[in-house]
Structure 1
Amino acid sequence: MARKETEHPDYHFIKVVMTDGTEYMTRSTYGKEGDTLNLDIDPKTHPAWTGGQQQLLDRGGRLSRFNSKFGNLSFGKK
């Protein structure tokens, strides 16, 4: 069986611009060679990576039960 020419996407260099203006070059299948990807969210600002506080809803007391069972555990923190 012959290999299709379109089997693999085009993998090329693009410029990524972080929310703080930091730029770097990387290889990607996004756009075409030389395109710029401007990020709206990135690891430097998003709470998922920065440890920002989220407010969790306690529906049916599940969060309270979890915290009472496991709230005193430490995971590698001293």
Structure 2
Amino acid sequence: MKRDIHPQYAETQVTCTCGASFTTRSTKTDSAIRTDVCSACHPFYTGKQKILDTGGRVARFEARFGKNAGAKK
């Protein structure tokens, strides 16, 4: 790497709104980063993810417009 062209890379404390915090490295000048969602509270990582019922939407579309409404002629 060339000297004096790269930003400083320092340890930074990341804090989530849920209260979880961890240390990482960043080029941000502040020594703290606040975030709304982290791996401790995001539904994808915690297993509390909601699955949308797309089957109900398809059935409602077919009831309105018929089963062959979207087929090419």
Over alpha carbons, which structure has the higher Rg? Answer: 2
Is residue 5 from structure 1 mapped to residue 1 from structure 2 by the alignment? no
Cα deviation digits, residues 33-53 of structure 1 (max 9, x gap): x52111100111111111123
Query: Which structure: greater helix fraction?
Result: 2
Q: Alpha carbons of 1:54 and 1:22: their partners in 2 closer, same or farther (altered >3 Å)?
A: closer
Report runs of 4+ in structure 1 exceeding 3 Å deviation.
58-61
RMSD of aligned C-alpha atoms?
2.6
Map of 2:32 onto structure 1: 36
Runs of 5+ consecutive residues of structure 1 not aligned to the other structure: 62-78
2:14 touches 2:23 (CA, 8 Å); kept in 1? yes
2:51 corresponds to: 55
- Sequence identity (%): 32
Gap change, CA 1:54 and 1:27, over 3 Å in 2: same
1:69 matched to which residue of 2? Answer: none
CA distance in 1, matches of 2:46, 2:21: 19
Q: Quick one: distance in 1 between partners of 2:46 and 2:32?
A: 25
Match of 1:65 in 2: none
More strand by share: 2
Amino acid at match of 1:27: R
